[in-house]
Structure 1
C-alpha cells in the first residue's frame, strides 16, 4: 500500500505526544492572532517581510534524517523578527504580534507543500512556533518594546546579551519538547534524549540562531535593506544543510544495497537484515546510545551477514545460528574486513567483528568491545527465532535467549530486549 508522502503530516498515529505539541503551537498562534487583530499590526513592512521569509523557509524545508526536518531560513527569520529593536524600527512588535506573524507564515509555508504532496511535519513546525514564542517572551522581558539602540556600546552590549539569551531559551525549549517527544516515540531515556537534542542545538541550532541575531541587528540598524544582505549567508547555510542531508541519504542507500547482497545470494532470508536492524535500533534507543552510535549500530546490524558470502553454502533459510561457532566467527571477521575497505565505516567494522563473540569470552573480559556488538548478536538471535518462517512466539524466544545470559549474550542487552518486547515490539 502506498501513501502520499505529504500525508505523513496528517497521520495522527505518528503524533502521539505530538498532538499536544500541535495543539499548543496552534493554540498560541490563534490566541496571538486574536490579540494582534484587536490591537492592530505595527510596522507592516517588517511584519510582511519577515513573515514572507518564514513562509519561504517553510516551503523549502528539507529532511535531515528520518525524524527531523530543517528550515534554517524560517527559523532565523522568526528569531530575527522576535528581536527587532533599533533606530529604524519605530514601534517594535510585541510578543503577540511576533507569534501571530510566525504562526500565520508557518501555516502559509506548509500549505503549498501539502498541496504538492511534499514531505512536511506539523509537529516540528509547531515546535518552532513554541520556541520562537519563548524567545520573544524572554527578549521582551529583558528589552522593553520602547528600547531604541542609539549605536552606543553601553546600550549595545546588553542588547546583544539579551539576543543571545533569547536564542538560547528558544533552543532549550525546543530541546526539552523534542526530548519529550523522542522519549514517547522511541522509548529513549529522557536524559539521553535531552542530551542528543542539546547536541543538535549546539551544532545546527546555534547557526540558525546566529542568523536570527544578524538579521535582527541589521534590520534594527538599517531597516529592510539588511534583509537581502543577511539572506545570502542563510541561503549558504541552507545549501550546506541540504548537501549534508543528501550525503546522508546516499550513504544510507549504499549501506542498504550492500545489505541486500546476502538476501540475493540466499545467505539470509528476505528482509532479515532490515528486521535485525529495526530491533537493534529499538534496543539502542532503550539503552540511550548517542545518535552517532545509533547510526553505526544500524549499519552494523544491516551488514552483519556480509561475511557469510565467503562461506561455501548458505544456511538453511538464512539461519546463521545453525552454523558452528567457528564458521560464524570466521564470517564476522571476513565481514569486518570487507566493511573496513570502505575507508569510512571503521567503527561499524569493529562492531561486526565481535558480533558473534560469546559474551563470557568477549565483552565480559574485554570492555573495549563495543556494547553494540552484543546488541547485534542478541537482535540477530531473536530475529532468527521469531522472524518469518521460524514459528516461535516472542515468549518462547525470550526463554531460549535467557538460557544464554552471561555466557552467550550480554545480560544488559537481554534485559533491554525484554523491555522492548514487553512494550509490544513487532517486526
Structure 2
C-alpha cells in the first residue's frame, strides 16, 4: 500500500468517524435530550454543590451527608425561585403595559408611513426629473400599498386578526395545560435525582470511571476541567456583561423617563429584551437601539432618538473596555462561527439549539487546542525575538572611587620600594 493510498484511507476513516460522532450528537439532542434532561441537569447541579457539601460533611466528622444534601438542594431551590418569582411578577405588569403601548404605536403607523414617504421624496430630490418621477411614483405606490394592507380598526386590530389571535391563544393555552403534568413530574424527578446525585456523587463518578478503558480514565477529569476552566467561565462572564448592559439600559431609560421623553411603564421589559438580543454576535444591542432611534427620528421624536443613540454609544464604549477584562483568556470562538452555530442550532434543534451548538463548538475547540482531538489545524503565534534590555551600570560612589585610588597608590609605592631595594 503506497503512502498516498494510506493517506486517503486515513482521511476517509477520520471523515466517517466525524460523521458518526455528529450523527450521534444530532440523534441525542433531537430525540434523547429532553427525556434525560432532568438527570443531566441534576448531575450538573450536584457537581456544583460538592465543595460546600464536603466542607459541611467534614465539619460534622463525615456524618449526615444525606441530610446536608437535602438542606443544600432545598436552599439552592429557594435561592433560585425567589428572584425568578419576583422577576416574573414584575414582567407580567411590564408586559401588560407594553402591549397597550404597542397597540397605540400601531394606531400611529399610517402617520409614520406618511412621514417616511415625505422624507424619502426629499432625499431623492437631487435626481433628474425623469428619474425623480419614476422613483417618486414607485415610493408612493409602495407606501400606499402598505397603508392599504395595514387594516386596523379603532381598537388597533381587524376582526380577522382578533379571531386568529383568539384561536391561536386558546390552542396555545391548551398545549401548555396538556404539558403541565409532564413538566411537574420532570421537575419532581429532577429534584429527587439532584439530592441523590449530591449524596452519592463520588460513587457515581467512580462507577463511570470503572467503565472506561485504562487509558481513558482521565477523560472525565479533562472534560470537567474544560467545562470549569473555559465554558463555565465564559458563560459566567457573558452573563455578567448582560447584567451590566441591563443596568446601563435601565438607567438610561429611567433618565429619559424622568425627563418626559419616554414612557416609564415598560422600560425594564425592553431592557431585558435587548439584553437577550445582545447575546447574538455582530448584531448586539445596536440591532434594536439604532433602528429604534431612526424610527423615532422619522416620527418627529428627536429627543428620544438622540437619547437612544447616546445610550448605545455609552454601552458600546463600556463594553469595549470591560469585555476583554471580564472574559480574559477564556475560550472564544470567531463571531462568524458563533453566528453560524446559532443559525444551524435553531434550524436543527429549535431555540434550545441556539445555546447547545455554540457550547458544543467551544468544547470541540478547547479539546482541539489542547491536542486531545485533531479536527483542524491551529495557527500557532509567530515567535517574536525579544532582546533583553541592557542592565545599567552601577554608579560608583565617591568613597569607592577614593578607596580604589588609594589601593592603586599603595600598590605603586610598594612596587617602587621593592625596586629601590634591589
Q: Which has the higher helix share?
A: 2
Q: Compute the TM-score of the two structures, normalised by the length of structure 1.
A: 0.24
Task: Give the number of the structure with larger relative contact order, counting CA–CA contacts within 8 Å between residues 6 or more apart.
Answer: 2
Q: TM-score, normalised by structure 2?
A: 0.24
